[in-house]
Structure 1
Amino acid sequence: MEFIKPGRQFDFMSKRLYFIGASVLLLLLSIVTYFVPGLRLGTDFRGGTEIEVALKQSVPTTEIRHAVERAGFESPEVIEVTSPGTPNRVMIRVLEVNTLTEDQKQAVRHRLCLAEEGEATADPRCANVLVPTEIRFSPGGDKISLRYEKAPDLAAIEKQIEGIEGITLQSRERGVVLANERDHKVDIHLRSKGDLLLDGLRHELGDDKVPEQALRVEWIGPKAGAQLRDAAIKSVLIALIFIMGYIALRFDLRFAPGGIVALVHDVGIALGAMAVTQREITISTVAAMLTIVGYSINDTVIVYDRIRENLPRHRGLSFAAIINLSISEMLGRTIITSGVTALSMFAFLWWGTGMIKDFAFALLVGIAVGTYSSIYIAAPLTEWIDKRFFGGSAVQRRAPKRTKQEKRPHAVV
């Protein structure tokens, strides 16, 4: 299949200034959208609790949002999830997470007759009480693990924990359980924010609308979210550095800046599109950005490779003319590969759900700007760098050497 007839050439370089100007403007507008309306960070990066619920009846999202607020949660997000097999499915996100404060931890230690360092207190009421030798709080704040020297009394432990503000046992059956009989290990399961959120919905909307259990409950703390955000930024920067080194070694130093600028251009505009459409920035989005980086640099490297092949073949042409020739020769291949990949992403965007749609949208934008940047960003910048800093040596050093006979002046008769 041939979209471009062999031998046909397009003059891309004559219009490069217009397209570069448009790219700069688009990239600047994308940067503005990072602040207004702003990037919509998901639970992965900002922390919070997320649950998915299959309601028994259809309930408007505004009514669900007000019910969550009345249940004691601030700034909730309610999103309808389209799922053919599960009707009335909604996703609810809140900023609260399952964490125990230091005051709550200290209250638990005090009730269990533990001092700050894990030793028994001197309180007279603890004289005949079995004191745990070890206490651990889970990072999620939904479980407390205790270890004793001999078999503990689970009912007594339950009474010790009851009444602490902000701490509620999960249930009578699952509240205090013997996790390991040999080691005398006890786990105290507390109600998570997801459980409390579902209880609040059931109280506000009624049992006829809200089920007993959620389809999915996830949470992440703000500290872990910040770590994930920093790690995501580092991963993209490290990828750019290694790609620059690869291009400099694989081709020439003058080729590397164009490839990196094109990658920054692609990722910047893709993030701007996510900000404009207010799609969530999650771990899946970071994966999409890294995929865009790989896809774009692959297209750019293929164009660079054809430019390098054509430099010694067409010694009489300028660098700009060789770039036009090389891109024209690779244009048919680019249309086929980009088109097939875009069709796949359209399918995900149309029939996918949740994060799959956001991933497909980011890749669609990345494919479009990545193909464009290989033609109008990477190649023209390489030609400018060669002319500005290397004196046009990319063509000059490959110019054919004149023989002695050619250098000798002709005799005038």
Structure 2
Amino acid sequence: MEFIKPGRQFDFMGKRWIALGISAALLLVSIIAFFKPGPQLGTDFKGGTELEVAFLQPTDAGEIRSAVESLGFNAPDVIRVKDSGAENAHRFLIRVQEVSALSDEQKEAIRQKACVLPEDGAVSPDFEARCPANARASEIKFSPGGDKISMRYETEPDLAAIKAQLTGITGIELRAGENNPVVVSARDHKVEAQLKSRGDQLLDGLRQKLGADRVPERALRVEWIGPKAGAQLRDAAIRSIAISIVFIMAYIAFRFDLRFAPGGIVALVHDVGIALGAMILTHREITLSTIAALLTIVGYSITDTVVVYDRVRENLARHRNLSFPAIVNLSVSEMLGRTIMTSLTTGLTMVCFLIWGTGVIKDFAFALLIGILVGTYSSIYIAAPFTEWIDRTFFGGQTTNQKKVTRTKAVKRADAVV
């Protein structure tokens, strides 16, 4: 299939200033959107607990938000999730800032309740009466997720007494079940107690507020991440994009020529910036999946740019009588059919994901679709024209001058032969 007839050329360089003006406007809008309204960071980056719940009956988002706030959770986000299936027709995404990790105050309260001897050995007068030997923990450990406590005892532990010790602590609640706490190692007298996570507590509270006939026993999905881990993930995501751009610049400089590298990098920054701005303006969450989409855009865009650069390099050696702008027009025109075919194929795939996908898939497809559009555009109107400007401004039109010198030498040799 041929979209462009062989031999047909387009004056891309003649329209480059119009294209650059459009790109500058889009980038300016993206930069402004980054500060206001600002990116809507997901739980991956800012921390918190996220539940996806399929309610059993029709429920209003405002009603869910009011119920969550009445349970003591701060600034909840309640988002309706579209699902064409009848089984989960009333799905909502509920996100709160609280996480399951235990605070230092809660850990200290658990240590006191579990009768762990302090390091200085100082105990209260009623310690012996309150803490029998079979309910006096010699060692206690907390899981990073804050949903499990491991305790070790000198003698065979009294599970009923231990359960009573862990009941009544503010913000701490044992999971329901007969085997909680449970002995996991009889030889070492090791006991584990399962605590309710923030997600479990939130779901239980919703069941009390809205009724058991509307709130299910379990959530479809529960995820949480601490603020510190979220900040580390955010910094790692920024570093991954920056490092990839630096190495791509080095690759282009080594693969082609130093003057080609800046154009490729400007095109990459252009594509990632506009795609990120589109995500912010459409109020889509910035998550790890979004970062994966941006890195995919970087790879897709530079591949298209390298194809154009490769044809420019071939035509520089093949058509020595043409100027650099004419070489760019010829090269892009020759590759235009291939570019349209590739972009159309991948773009249609992303459109299908955007229409029929769900959740994170839709955001990924949206970011990648914008990246495909601006990536195709930037290979034609950003990378190649910028390379021509670099050659003319910083290298004094060295490519064109070399052609002139070559033609002059050829004429002199012809005159000498005559």
TM above 0.5, yes or no, is yes
The structural deviation recorded for 1:409 is 11
Task: Name the stretch that deviates more: 85-94 or 126-135.
Answer: 126-135
One-letter amino acid matched to 1:7: G
RMSD: 1.8
Give the structure 1 partner of residue 109 of structure 2. Answer: 107
> In the alignment, is the contact (CA less than 8 A) between 1:42 and 1:280 conserved in 2?
yes
Of 409, 413, 416, the residue aligned with 1:405 is 413
The structural deviation recorded for 1:257 is 0.6
One-letter amino acid matched to 1:104: Q
Q: 1:67-116: CA deviations, max 9, x gaps?
A: 21122222211122223142211111111111211111111112222245
Give the structure 2 partner of residue 86 of structure 1. Answer: 88
Whole-angstrom CA distance in 2 between matches of 1:181 and 1:165: 30
User: Alpha carbons of 1:125 and 1:407: their partners in 2 closer, same or farther (altered >3 Å)?
Assistant: farther
Give the structure 2 partner of residue 161 of structure 1. Answer: 166
The structural deviation recorded for 1:407 is 5.8
Is 2:175 aligned against 1:175? no
Give the structure 1 partner of residue 11 of structure 2. Answer: 11
Whole-angstrom CA distance in 2 between matches of 1:62 and 1:222: 26
Percent identical residues: 63
One-letter amino acid matched to 2:413: Q
Of 361, 377, 380, the residue aligned with 2:382 is 377
Whole-angstrom CA distance in 2 between matches of 1:328 and 1:81: 44
SS in 2 for 1:397: helix
One-letter amino acid matched to 1:92: I
Task: Name the stretch that deviates more: 154-163 or 224-233.
Answer: 154-163
The structural deviation recorded for 1:300 is 0.3
Give the structure 1 partner of residue 232 of structure 2. Answer: 227
The structural deviation recorded for 1:180 is 3.0
> In the alignment, is the contact (CA less than 8 A) between 1:292 and 1:367 conserved in 2?
yes
Q: 1:322-362: CA deviations, max 9, x gaps?
A: 00000000000000000000100000000000010000000
One-letter amino acid matched to 1:28: L
One-letter amino acid matched to 1:349: L
Of 282, 288, 297, the residue aligned with 2:287 is 282
Whole-angstrom CA distance in 2 between matches of 1:227 and 1:386: 41
One-letter amino acid matched to 1:201: L
The structural deviation recorded for 1:312 is 0.8
SS in 1 for 2:192: strand
The structural deviation recorded for 1:13 is 0.3
SS in 1 for 2:36: helix
Whole-angstrom CA distance in 2 between matches of 1:189 and 1:174: 9
Within a 5 Å distance, the mapping from 1:184-223 to structure 2 comes to 184-223=189-228
Within a 5 Å distance, the mapping from 1:8-407 to structure 2 comes to 8-83=8-83, 84=85, 85-117=87-119, 122-127=123-128, 128-130=132-134, 131-399=136-404, 400=406, 402-403=409-410, 404-406=412-414
Whole-angstrom CA distance in 2 between matches of 1:236 and 1:214: 34
One-letter amino acid matched to 2:13: M
User: Alpha carbons of 1:115 and 1:32: their partners in 2 closer, same or farther (altered >3 Å)?
Assistant: farther
> In the alignment, is the contact (CA less than 8 A) between 2:304 and 2:376 conserved in 1?
yes
Task: Name the stretch that deviates more: 121-130 or 177-186.
Answer: 121-130
Whole-angstrom CA distance in 2 between matches of 1:293 and 1:115: 57
SS in 1 for 2:51: strand
Q: 1:53-80: CA deviations, max 9, x gaps?
A: 1111011111111121122222211122
One-letter amino acid matched to 1:378: A
> In the alignment, is the contact (CA less than 8 A) between 2:55 and 2:88 conserved in 1?
no
SS in 1 for 2:223: strand
> In the alignment, is the contact (CA less than 8 A) between 1:46 and 1:225 conserved in 2?
yes
User: Alpha carbons of 1:116 and 1:406: their partners in 2 closer, same or farther (altered >3 Å)?
Assistant: farther
One-letter amino acid matched to 1:87: A
One-letter amino acid matched to 1:391: G
The structural deviation recorded for 1:151 is 2.8
SS in 1 for 2:137: coil
User: How many residues of Structure 1 are paired with residues of Structure 2 in the alignment?
Assistant: 409
Q: 1:114-169: CA deviations, max 9, x gaps?
A: 2454x865445444434333321112211111123443221121122222222111
Q: 1:210-258: CA deviations, max 9, x gaps?
A: 1111111111111111111001001000100110010010000111111
SS in 1 for 2:37: helix
